[in-house]
A and B are shown apart, each in its own frame.
Chain A
């Protein structure tokens, strides 16, 4: 087994939960998210030559997940089903805060291109340049989309940037 393949294998085991969460954020159901994780691993190994620098594993693999998820959504055009599990997950278990729930809804309602940048930049803590690489957009586009997304969420840019 080549060193690179081994590194990728170790990486997908170590970061599986992150990958699953990202996949889930697109498809919104457990079975499909698992299938996307699975599919992404297959794709990763079949296109391992496209990984030039081992230090780029993370952005390279995230890009595969995002593309796999988008392909999936395009192909299936399925209705998004918010099942009981997800709804319960939004319940923080403490005091209900309806404002937060609205905020969560606002995020879910964002068009995919805006939601992706929010997730990658703020939830997965990628740099703007890395987000651009993952989404195959240029840096300025990502910045614009990020500001637009925050605006739609009614979050003041200056406070978070």
Chain B
């Protein structure tokens, strides 16, 4: 039983970071593809696409922050 509780504790601490990273990867790929598609259609103003492509990385950054706030010794 103790092992299960410990595992759940570690999961809880690191899940925000892991899930955030997965979400950011999916989001960045979608946004990046959309930006490249839009870039072929427009002239100039590419700076905005850089911003849009980097938008979804916010999830993993908040994940890191949450992970650090929760970070502590896990005791059963």
Q: Do A and B bind each other?
A: no
